A and B are shown apart, each in its own frame.
Chain A
Amino acid sequence: MVIDAKRAESPATFPKGGVHPEEWKGFTGSLAIEKIPPPPRVCLFLKQHVGAACEVAVQKAPIQAPHDNLLFSRHPGRIYQQLVDRKATVRAGDLIGSTGDRLGAALHASLGGRVEGVVDALHPMTGKAPALVISGDPEAAAPGYDFEDWRRFSRQELLDRIRSAGIVGLGGAGFPAHFKLDVDPQAQLDTLILNGSECEPYLTCDHRIMVEHAPEVIEGAKIILTILGIHACVIGVETNKPDAIDILQRTIAEQRSENDLRIIVQPLRVKYPQGSADQIIQSVTGRVRSSGKRSSSIGVIVQNVYTTKTIYDAVVRGKPFYERVITVSGRGIARPANLLVPIGTHLGDIVSHLGGTTEDLAKVVVGGPMMGFAVSSLDIPITKTTAGVLFLTRDEIDAQDYGPCIRCGFCLDACPMGLEPNNIGIYVEAGRGAETAQFGLVDDCFECGSCAYVCPAKRPLVQFIRLARIQIREAERKKEKQK
């Protein structure tokens, strides 16, 4: 039992590194989640998660346990042909893709309409990737979901329901939720941490989920605790979301305690990158994960608050994960908003719903401003892990040329992992990126961008780190070949 009620009384944070970027959450923080009308088409990537890509098929509902039929092994070609030839009609929530690998996530239609086929679509991170296109049918009926008492499900049934809903970690990485929660019973877990820090500037979707769906988040936490067989849950929320902290605390207080489950809210002092697993674990429990090990090695599982709410939807209502809330913000969009959009909605459709972009739009970022990806087209669909789309004007971004490293050491103070971004950059510039493994970036750097944020010479340190990673991998491959 790890809950330390004293610790929860005052805001905590992680001790090492971190930065305080301007928050800019005021654009959307107080706006209620708004559902957009169904877009004319959606484009669903076959891989929106960590693990194997989906193989596509269209399964007409209702058939008993449809997901089992679709967990076919290795015949993508046949199914793919069938799908494209028949141009099947689907309803929102129909299973359209799955993978036999346990590390992977199912894919569901996010729009009622006709399957147009599989195309190579623009992807915010990887350039291009195969995706299934569905054109919307305005007549299509919205699916409805009933409530079920989840307490009658066994652990395996709970996990299966999560798996068939295609839920992935919404905090960013997109790790399949069922895989993460299926922890070896031997592991000495004691605490579930719900990550509600939402430390990226501008983004407010987790904030709105906590404010508008607090009971579902709490109930979802109980489901996860039941799966893990533990009793303690700490919800970490940064103090810039006082309404979320307040509502969560009130919701917990109103509910009767059951089965010794104990859920508390830990306020966290605002600091980026608090939402990173290592940092929030340390903020909440004081524990430190060894490099290269899973967080379960120190008795902790971290789950994003929004993922938890999605798990509730999947388990209690049987609703697959096919739509999500994103924050659309920045000075470059006519009307910032927190939008509930079908996954696969194109940025262009979101922009036209919100009244277009402003003239001085300079950059479009999918994700947050610290770790998101800049894109050069609005013909890009959002994915399961897209938490926001930012339309930034020139005065919001930094577009200065970079200069030489002046060895001020600011990046050393900012790095939450205790790495040496300055040296990595200097090595890469000197063509010696392969030698930077000594600075520990392979295991520890999660590219939070704190180093580049503080760098007065405006050096693209994250870019240098990515280059260094590629060069380290190449050097290792060469070594392997020589053997």
Chain B
Amino acid sequence: MTRTDLIVSVSPHVKQRVTTATLMWTVAACLTPPLILSIFIFGFQTLLITLVSVGACVATEAVSQKALGRPVHVSDGSAVITGLLLAYIIPPGVPYWTPITGAVMAIFVTKALMGGLGFNIFNPALIGRAFLVATYPVVMTTAWLEPLRDASIFRYVGPPVDVVSAATPLHVLKHYGMSAFIETFGSLSTVYADFFFGLRPGCIGETSTLLLLIGGIFLIYKRYITWHIPLSVIASVGLFTWIFGGETSFTGNPLLAVLSGGVILGAFFMATDYVTSPSQKTGQLIFGAGIGALTVLIRLKGGYPEGICYAILLMNPLTPALDQWFRPKRFSAGAP
């Protein structure tokens, strides 16, 4: 006599509680402290831009899943992460339509058309940014906000004409040299401190190295990501900058290179995107080292002062190859 109230399925019958949604929402939560800080540094504008970006990503995800005849799964939180990351890597002074355009490019073109979650080749948020830099270069390289030294957090809210364009540290360093850099931003030790705590013009995601590190290290502690990619990215940026970044060999400033230009955000939150990075440890180390090398190359020889965005995008398509080349070691490989 068969009982219809009993569930029958293939083993295992118990599973770890962590779900895809748990992972995504935890990453999203780890990304929020820098946002909160940025409200105090750049004003309320950053929150608005972020909300627009997240909203646009979630809406695009829902609409494209519906349009492509797939079940709507926005509650898994993956579009929220894309929205947060996109907002974190565009200047906070941009008009509101900018993140919306970026969101459509990131979610619809980069992810949905490729087959949805799990099938995209490129990091969606980075494609969104790359698209915006290519199409709206002026806004994307000038709409920086000077950190507020008082508590007037609503100063930048309003028509975009109010936005004061300010130069980013790496831009100054690249185009005007170290002396101009120190003149603009103060002595090196002040710069380190400002960068570490987040008091400088830049994207939301570049603000506080400290808060990003806390989030990233929490993800490693929870074993949602491993140290391999973040560490290899950071080590390789530092190493290559030290070797090639100075006026003569081995005189570059690795600390400044790592603290600036979104390296920490990229290393912990973008290069570690499961879908677009290798799953195997050796592959991950090479992937991270490649990102670091390309970042330094773009910074030193290319036209963009930051570089990590394109470095990750250039390494993303290597993921399937790295996973093929570096297979897990089989158990019996240890046999005599």
Contacts from A to B (Cβ < 8 Å) = 16, 19, 21-22, 201, 278, 287-291, 298, 361-365, 367, 369-379, 390, 392, 396-400, 403-409, 412, 415-420, 422, 440, 444, 447, 449, 452-458, 460, 462-463, 466
Q: Report B-chain residues with C-beta under 8 Å of the C-beta of A21.
A: 14, 16
* B317 adjacent to chain A (CB < 8 Å): no
Q: Report B-chain residues with C-beta under 8 Å of the C-beta of A362.
A: 5-7
A412-B279, A420-B327, A456-B20 are known contacts. Are A363 and B7 too (CB-CB below 8 A)?
yes
Q: Report A-chain residues with C-beta under 8 Å of the C-beta of B76.
A: 403
* B141 adjacent to chain A (CB < 8 Å): no
Contacts from B to A (Cβ < 8 Å) = 1-16, 18-20, 22-23, 73, 76, 116-119, 274-275, 279-280, 327-336
A412 touches B19 (CB 8 A): no
CA distance A21 to B15 in the complex (A): 8
A447 touches B11 (CB 8 A): yes
CA distance A363 to B13 in the complex (A): 9
A288-B336, A444-B332 are known contacts. Are A466 and B15 too (CB-CB below 8 A)?
no
- Interface of chain B: mostly helix, strand, loop or mixed: loop
A21-B14, A407-B275, A449-B12 are known contacts. Are A456 and B23 too (CB-CB below 8 A)?
yes
CA distance A449 to B14 in the complex (A): 10
Q: Report B-chain residues with C-beta under 8 Å of the C-beta of A422.
A: 279
Q: Report B-chain residues with C-beta under 8 Å of the C-beta of A400.
A: 15, 19
CA distance A288 to B15 in the complex (A): 28
A375-B6, A378-B3, A460-B9 are known contacts. Are A288 and B14 too (CB-CB below 8 A)?
no
Identify the interface centre among B14, B76, B280, B336: most chain A CB within 10 Å of its CB. Answer: B14
Min CB–CB distance B13 → chain A (angstroms)? 5
Instruction: Name A288's contact: one of B1, B6, B9, B331 (CB within 8 Å).
Output: B331
Q: Report A-chain residues with C-beta under 8 Å of the C-beta of B23.
A: 406, 408, 456
Min CB–CB distance B236 → chain A (angstroms)? 21
9 contacts between A and B (CB under 8 A): A369-B13, A374-B13, A377-B2, A377-B6, A397-B7, A399-B7, A403-B20, A403-B73, A407-B279
Q: Report A-chain residues with C-beta under 8 Å of the C-beta of B328.
A: 412, 415, 418-420
Known: A376-B2, A418-B330. 9 other contacts (CB 8 A): A291-B330, A291-B335, A371-B11, A374-B13, A378-B1, A403-B117, A412-B328, A416-B331, A462-B11
Instruction: Name A462's contact: one of B12, B19, B22, B329 (CB within 8 Å).
Output: B12
Min CB–CB distance B308 → chain A (angstroms)? 21
B6 touches A449 (CB 8 A): no
Instruction: Name A440's contact: one of B2, B18, B330 (CB within 8 Å).
Output: B330
A288-B336, A418-B328 are known contacts. Are A374 and B20 too (CB-CB below 8 A)?
no
Min CB–CB distance B126 → chain A (angstroms)? 17
Q: Report A-chain residues with C-beta under 8 Å of the C-beta of B5.
A: 361-362
Q: Report B-chain residues with C-beta under 8 Å of the C-beta of A455.
A: 15-16
Nearest-neighbor residue (CB-CB) of B283 within chain A: A409
B18 touches A456 (CB 8 A): yes
Instruction: Name B274's contact: one of A408, A440, A452 (CB within 8 Å).
Output: A408
Q: Report A-chain residues with C-beta under 8 Å of the C-beta of B2.
A: 376-377
Q: Report B-chain residues with C-beta under 8 Å of the C-beta of A460.
A: 9-10
Nearest-neighbor residue (CB-CB) of A449 within chain B: B12
Nearest-neighbor residue (CB-CB) of B279 within chain A: A409
B336 touches A298 (CB 8 A): yes
CA distance A364 to B11 in the complex (A): 12
Identify the interface centre among B3, B11, B280, B334: most chain A CB within 10 Å of its CB. Answer: B11
